[in-house]
């Protein structure tokens, strides 16, 4: 029954019912957090064997004989580059291994362009205006990097098969101040969208006015499938090369949500020319990253097939949680016309859209009853969702029973806030 077709009297009756239910929820004194995409402890337990791959008696040389206990090997040991090349869908020669965080690499990449410029071009700090395309809704920390450097943004909406490419083609062709674009191409944060082959090819063939324009391809969820029948992502680097734009993309990934979130491996891939330039600057930052961790990862996972097998174990834990949340939405909200939501096939998030102008209030109601959600607006630059509608749900951390209680409360808050809004709108 669509709430939008109800009379004021009918809505008031519903409001009274939902209010009573809300008060009894409050009495349960819930204390749950669905705000950040963190793996649960049972997921982290899957990797404890990594701590046993070597001990004080082990020989800690890389396959080509490099002593991993010592300084050096700026780009990372060969086998780690091979391992990460599987996730990044690139050749090992196009890969550099960093520390534990891909966000750190992204920050660094923007920072280098800001202070030193790309391929001898003007550093962004010396330009009057620098902007990025932000695909919305998107990842809050991408947007925070821009804010930190005073970089502006242009929002472009996410469609079913990736961002609105008509808009992007026009923007980059016309505006020289647009220097970059954040993308989470597989199981995007938060919509769970996979960029179609057509979208990737159009992106690779962009004709940006700015010669230092780059696509920041954050493939954070490249192997995070919830189901065995998953869609493959077309490789952007190869497509860029075919389209005559070999240097236009930087790819990022990490094992944060594969091994340990607090102690994974992060890497980037790009054309050899980009990699050479980055290594020259990286030289001033470090003599080499943590090669013992690189060795631990490669000895534990062995290769990309090892990672894929490991991710199936994660899926067994995560799938019931995602399905629990979407089934609750279906049961409680379906037909009410108060919200829509995604049913992702991978990644870490469910994206929920309330009626316009309701998201902030829904999040506040949930908080009052003990359930913390990602702040409404966080999925937009500067925290401003023009429609106040999007809420990012992160179902990975809570246990399944807690998740059930939290999703039921969320649905109740959506119904209560929506009904109140509709009553207000009645003449």
What residues line the site for ligand PMP (CB under 6 A)? 37, 101-103, 139, 184, 189, 218, 220, 254, 256, 266
In degrees rounded to 5, what are phi and psi of residue 341? -150, 160
- Least distance (Å) from ligand PMP to the CB of residue 145? 11
Instruction: Select 38 or 319, whichever has its Cβ closest to ligand PMP.
Output: 38
First to last CA, the chain: 21
Q: Rounded CA gap, 240 and 207, in Å? A: 11
Smaller CB distance to ligand PMP: residue 135 or 416?
135
In this complex, which beta carbon is closest to ligand PMP, that of residue 25 or of residue 187?
187
Q: H or E element: which one contains 217? A: strand 214-218
Residues 6+ apart with CB under 8 A from 421: 355, 357, 358
Task: Give the three-state DSSP class for 134.
Answer: strand
Provide the H-helix boundaries in 28-139.
41-45, 78-88, 102-115
Closer Cβ to ligand PMP, 22 or 349, answer by number: 349
CB of 219 to ligand PMP, least distance (A): 9
Within 10 angstroms of residue 70's Cβ, the number of other Cβ atoms is 11
Which CB sits closer to ligand PMP, 101 or 293?
Answer: 101
Min dist CB 180 to ligand PMP, Å, is: 15
Q: Determine how many CB atoms are found less than 10 A away from the CB of residue 197.
A: 15
Alpha helices by DSSP H, listed for 189-303, are 197-204, 236-242, 272-282, 291-301
State in angstroms the smallest separation of the CB of 27 from ligand PMP.
33
Q: Which is nearer to ligand PMP, 18 or 216 (CB)?
A: 216
Tell me whether residue 184 or residue 248 sits nearer to ligand PMP (CB atom): 184
Question: Nearest Cα to 63, choosing from 76, 51, 52?
Answer: 76
The C-alpha atoms of residue 80 and residue 290 are separated, in whole angstroms, by 11
Comparison of 101 and 418: residue with beta carbon closer to ligand PMP:
101
Smallest distance from the beta carbon of 301 to ligand PMP, in angstroms?
A: 16
SS3 289: coil
Q: How far is the CB of 253 from ligand PMP (least distance, A)?
A: 8
If DSSP codes are grouped into helix, strand and coil, which group holds residue 208?
coil
Closest approach of Cβ 144 to ligand PMP, in Å? 12
- DSSP assigned state of 227: S
CA distances from 79 to 59, 64, 95, 222, 379 (A): 16, 9, 11, 19, 36
The DSSP H or E segment spanning 367 is: helix 359-368
3-state secondary structure of 216: strand
| Shortest separation between residue 99's beta carbon and ligand PMP, angstroms | 9
For ligand PMP, which is the closer residue by CB, 278 or 333? 278
Q: Cβ 143 to ligand PMP, closest distance in Å?
A: 11
């Amino acid at each position: 029954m669509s709430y939008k077709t109800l009379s004021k009297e009918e809505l008031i009756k519903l409001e009274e019912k939902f209010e009573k239910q809300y008060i009894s929820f409050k009495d349960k004194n819930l204390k749950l957090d669905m705000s950040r995409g963190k793996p649960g402890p049972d997921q982290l337990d899957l990797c404890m064997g990594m701590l046993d791959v070597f001990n004080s008696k082990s020989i800690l040389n890389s396959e080509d004989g490099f002593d991993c206990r010592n300084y050096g090997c700026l780009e990372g040991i060969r086998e780690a580059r091979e391992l990460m090349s599987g996730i990044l869908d690139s050749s090992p020669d196009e890969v550099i291994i960093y520390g534990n965080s891909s966000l750190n690499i992204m920050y660094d990449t923007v920072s280098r362009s800001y202070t030193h410029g790309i391929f001898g071009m003007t550093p962004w700090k010396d330009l009057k205006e620098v902007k990025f395309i932000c695909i919305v809704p998107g990842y809050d920390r991408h947007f925070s990097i821009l804010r930190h450097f005073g970089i502006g943004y242009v929002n472009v909406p996410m469609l079913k098969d990736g961002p609105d490419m008509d808009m992007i083609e026009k923007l980059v062709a016309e505006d020289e101040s647009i220097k970059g674009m954040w993308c989470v191409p597989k199981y995007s944060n938060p919509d769970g969208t996979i960029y179609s082959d057509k979208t990737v090819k159009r992106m690779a063939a962009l004709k940006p006015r700015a010669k230092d324009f780059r696509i920041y391809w954050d493939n954070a969820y490249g192997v995070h499938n919830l189901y065995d029948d998953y869609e493959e992502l077309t490789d952007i680097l190869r497509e860029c090369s075919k389209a005559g734009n070999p240097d236009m993309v930087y790819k990022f990934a990490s094992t944060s949500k594969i091994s340990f979130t607090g102690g994974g491996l992060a890497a980037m891939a790009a054309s050899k020319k980009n990699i050479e330039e980055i290594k020259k600057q990286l030289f001033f930052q470090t003599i080499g990253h943590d090669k013992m961790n690189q060795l631990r990862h490669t000895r534990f996972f062995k290769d990309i097939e090892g990672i894929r097998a490991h991710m199936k174990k994660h899926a067994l834990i995560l799938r019931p949680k995602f399905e629990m949340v979407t089934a609750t939405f279906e049961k409680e909200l379906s037909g009410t016309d108060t919200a829509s939501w995604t049913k992702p096939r991978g990644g870490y998030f469910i994206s929920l859209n309330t009626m316009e102008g309701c998201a902030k209030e829904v999040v506040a109601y949930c908080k009052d009853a003990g359930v913390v959600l990602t702040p409404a607006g966080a999925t937009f630059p500067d925290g401003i969702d023009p429609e106040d509608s999007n809420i990012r749900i992160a179902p990975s951390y809570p246990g399944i029973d807690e998740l059930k209680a939290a999703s039921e409360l969320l649905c109740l808050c959506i119904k209560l806030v929506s009904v109140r809004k509709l009553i207000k709108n009645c003449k």
